[in-house]
Structure 1
Amino acid sequence: MNTFKLFLAGASALALSTAANATDLEVTHWWTSGGEAAAVAEFAKAFDATGNKWIDGAIAGSGGTARPIMISRITGGDPMGATQFNHGRQAEELVEAGLMLDLTDIAEKEGWKDVIRPSSLLDSCTLDGRIYCVPVNIHSQQWLWLSNAAFEKAGVPVPSNWDEYAAAAPQLEAAGIIPLAVGQQPWQTTLAFQVLLVALAGPEAYTKIFGEKDAELAAGPELAKVFQAADKARSMSAGSNVQDWNQATNLVITGKAAGQIMGDWAQGEFQVAGQVAGTDYTCLPGLGVNEVIQTGGDAFYFPKLDDAAQTEAQGVLASVMLSPETQVAFNLKKGSLPVRGDVDLAAANDCMKKGLDILAKGNIIQAPDQLMSPDSLQQINDLFVQFFNDTSITAEGAQKTFVDLVASAD
C-alpha cells in the first residue's frame, strides 16, 4: 500500500472513530450582533469539522442579561455543554461549587502555559492550581472609534486625542451630528468612565482604584478631572437615543454620530458594514492619550455533564477553540486579539495592528472583572447609569458616591 493510500486509510479510520463518538453540544453565549455572529460562526465551523455538532444557544442582550440565565441553568441542574463568561471572577463560585469541568490535563498536554499571552489570562482561569476555562480572545475597551465622514461634514479635522475630540463637539452639533454615541445598556456608561479614567488619570491610578480599592486616590484631584470629563461625555451623548452598543456603533458607521467609546468588538461591526480602518473610520487606543491594552475578553467554561460522549466533546471543543487556525479566523472577525502569541496575523487591519503593537510593548492593564467582584462592579454600573441619565447629579456628587463604593468594594 503506497503512502497516499495509507493516509486515506488513516483518515477514514479517524473519521469513523470521530463519527462513532460524535455528539451535539449546546454552547451558550451573548454574541448576537452582526460582527459577533460572523465570529462565533468560525467556532461552530471548526467544531463541526470534528464530527460533533455545535448547537447554538445565543442569548440576546448583553452579558449582564445572559449570565444570570446561564448561572441559573447550571445551578438548577440543566447545564449546557459550554458557556461564555468574561475573564475574571464571574464563574468563581460555580468552580468552587464543583460544577465546572477541570481542563488541567488538556491544558498541560497542549502546553497552554507556553502559548497563552499574557499569562494573566490563564491565571484568571485557574483556581487552586487547576484550570477551568479556555481564554479565547483579548478584548480591550480602551478605544475611541471615529467617523471620518462625520468630521469631514462638520469641517473639523479628525481628532488625535480626547481633548481635540471634546473641543470639536460644538461644531459637530452645529452640523447636526451627535458628538458621542452611547447606548442605554448599563455597562456602556461605566465602560466610558473607566476608559476616561485610564486615559486621563493613567493606568496606575486605575489599577490602584479598582484593584487595590484606594478610596483616597478616588477622592483626589486627578479623579475630579476624570469626573469632569465624564460630565462632558454626558453632554456630548445627550442626543444618542439608542439601547444596544451595536446600535450606537451603527450611528458612527452611518455618520450620524462622530464617535463612540467602546471596546474593540466594535470593529467587527465596521467590518460587516464594509468599512476600512484608516479610511472610513479612525481608532484611537487609550483615547489617544494613554495607549494601553486591557487584557479582558472572553473565556469558555464547561459545566460537568453526566454523558461521557458529551464530556469527551467538551474537551474537543476546548482544544479547537485554542487551535492556531481557529484563533486567527475567530479574532479577525471579532475585532479582538488572539490569546496565542504564536499565530500569523498578516491579515490584521490598521486597528488590530495598533493593538498588537501596544500588546508587544507590554502596555497592559487587567480588566475590571479581574480586579473587582461582580457585586461591586454592579454597584458602580448603577452609579453611572444614574449619572448619565440624571443631569441633576453633579460631577462632584458622583465622585463622592464613587469613593464610598470603592471603599466598600471587594
Structure 2
Amino acid sequence: MKSVLKGVYLALSMSVVSMAAQAADLTMFHSWSNESEIAALNVFVDALKAEGHTIKELAIPHEQSGAGGPIVALVIAGTPPNIFLTGNADVYRDIRDHGLGQTVGEHFDKIGATENFPPAVREAIKVDGEVRKIPSGIHIDGMVYYNMEVAKAAGVDPTSWTSFDEMFADMEKVKAAGYNFMAMGGNTFQAGYLFHALMAGIGGPDVYKKFYNVDAGGKPDATVFEEQGLRDAIEAFRRITAQADEGWVNRQWNESTNTVISGKTLMHFHGDWMKGQWKANEKVLGEDYNCINLPGTKALSVTVDAMGILGGDPVSPEQLEAEFELASIAVDPVMNAEFASHKGSTPVRTDAPVEKLDACNKLVLDSLAKDNFWVLNPFYVSDSDWINSVWNTMFTFQGDPSMTTDDAVAMLKDEYDAIFN
C-alpha cells in the first residue's frame, strides 16, 4: 500500500510539474462591465485559470472602445493583448497586417466545432474568407423585451402586434396607464444599434446590405440614398426616440433596460443581451418578462460575440497553446451554453444542451433558420469610419427634434462622400 501511495504521489507531482511548465501568462482586452457580461466572461476565464494559466484583464468602458481602436493602439505600442474581445473585422485585419494575426478555422475543424455552428456564426467569424474569430454567443441587435405585469396593467398584448404601426397604436394606452412606452438611452452606441436594427427590420435585408456592405471598391452602394426603405427606417427611428422619457440623456443601455425591469416602462427594443439583466435581477422568463421580434420585422441584424487570439513572434509556444485552449473552452457546447445563460445570448453551437435553451433562445434559432431573414452586424461587413459616422449622425438626429428625414439623409450622404469620394 505504501508503495502504491508513493507511486500516486509521484504521478501527481509529475502532473503538477508538467502543468506548471506549460502554464502561460496572458493578457485579455475587453470592454464589458455590467453584471451579466462579467459573469459570462468569467465562465471562460475561470476555466482557463483552472488549467494553470494566469490572465491579466485590460478593461475599458464600452463607449471608449469605439470600433476597437484601443486594441490596435496596443498593437502599435508593442503591447498587444493575447486575447481581445471584438467582432470588428477591421481590427482583425490590422492585427493580421502587423504579422500578429492567428487563424482558428483548422482548430475548430479538428475539434468538431465547425459543423455545429449555425450558418450565421460560420459567416460572422470569417475575415476575408479566413476564420479568425472565436465565437462566444449569438445576439439579435434589435429585439423587444417587455414587462408582462406592465403589459397586463396597461391592457396591451405585445404578442398580438403584427406591425410597427400596430405597436405604436397602443402607445397612448400605455402612457395613460402611467407607464413609459419604450425605454431609451442616450449615447452613440445605442443610437447606432437602434438604427441598424431598424435598417434591417424596417428597411429590409436588401436595403440594409446596400447601406452597409462594402463592394469590391471598398464602399457601400450609394444608390441606397434614393431608397424608400432608408427613409422608412429613419422615420421609425424618430418615432421611437421621440417618445423617450425625460431621463434618456446619457443613460446607458443597461440602465434603460432597468427601467423596464423595475416596472416604469413597458418594453425595450435593443440587443437581446438585455436578457442577462433580467436574469441578474432574478426575473423569470414567461412570468416577469417575455421577448418578441419587432412586429412586422423584415430581417434581424445578428451579432456574434467573438474573441481573437494573438499569433506571431511575441507569442511563446506556451501562450499559443493556452490561447487555443481558450478557443476550445469558448466553443465547447456545455461551456458555451453556461456562458450564454449568464450573458443572455444564444449558444453558438446547434448541439448545445437542450435544457439550457429558453423560449427566447428558440425564437432566435427559429428566426435564423428562415431564408433571407438575417443580416450580419455592420462591423462584420462594412467600413469602420462609415459606421462611426452613421452612429454620430443618428445620435445628432436623436437629440435634435428639428431635424427632418431629408436632413438626416443629406447628412448621411455628406458623410459618405467625405469617407468614400
Instruction: Pick one of 329, 335, 346 that aligns with 1:326.
Output: 335
Match of 1:378 in 2: 388
- What amino acid is the match of 1:88? A
Q: Does 1:392 align with 2:393?
A: no
Q: Is the 8 A contact 1:219 1:399 kept in 2?
A: no
CA distance in 2, matches of 1:261, 1:44: 30
Over 3 Å counting, the alpha-carbon distance change for 1:175 and 1:241 in structure 2 is farther
CA distance in 2, matches of 1:71, 1:233: 35
Instruction: Pick one of 294, 304, 321 that aligns with 2:301.
Output: 294
Match of 1:249 in 2: 257
Q: Is the 8 A contact 2:303 2:376 kept in 1?
A: yes
Question: How far off its partner does 1:12 sit?
Answer: 7.1
CA distance in 1, matches of 2:62, 2:204: 31
Match of 2:49 in 1: 48
Q: Is the 8 A contact 1:39 1:331 kept in 2?
A: yes
Instruction: Pick one of 355, 363, 367 that aligns with 2:364.
Output: 355
Q: Is the 8 A contact 1:197 1:206 kept in 2?
A: yes
CA distance in 1, matches of 2:304, 2:345: 8
Over 3 Å counting, the alpha-carbon distance change for 1:66 and 1:334 in structure 2 is same
- What amino acid is the match of 2:342? K
Deviations 1:52-109 (A, max 9, x none): 2333333233473483322211210112221101153332122122122344553443
Q: Is the 8 A contact 1:142 1:292 kept in 2?
A: no
Q: Does 1:221 align with 2:231?
A: no
CA distance in 2, matches of 1:280, 1:150: 9
CA distance in 2, matches of 1:70, 1:182: 29
CA distance in 1, matches of 2:51, 2:64: 28
Match of 2:217 in 1: none
Q: Percent identity?
A: 25
Instruction: Pick one of 156, 171, 174 that aligns with 1:172.
Output: 174
CA distance in 2, matches of 1:201, 1:123: 21
Cα RMSD over matched residues?
A: 2.9
Deviations 1:35-65 (A, max 9, x none): 1111111111221222223333332334734
CA distance in 2, matches of 1:265, 1:206: 22
Question: Which sits farther off after the overlay, 184-193 or 47-56?
Answer: 47-56
Question: How far off its partner does 1:29 sit?
Answer: 1.0
Question: How far off its partner does 1:400 sit?
Answer: 2.8
Match of 1:101 in 2: 102
CA distance in 1, matches of 2:323, 2:126: 16
Deviations 1:322-375 (A, max 9, x none): 222221111121111222232223222221111122223353211111221111
Unaligned runs of 5+ in 2: 215-219
Q: Is the 8 A contact 1:121 1:295 kept in 2?
A: no
The 3-state SS of whatever aligns with 1:137 is strand
Match of 2:347 in 1: 338
The 3-state SS of whatever aligns with 1:136 is strand
Q: Is the 8 A contact 2:191 2:395 kept in 1?
A: yes
Deviations 1:106-147 (A, max 9, x none): 3443244333322664664344x6543312222220311222
Q: Is the 8 A contact 1:87 1:297 kept in 2?
A: no
TM-score by length of structure 2 reads 0.86
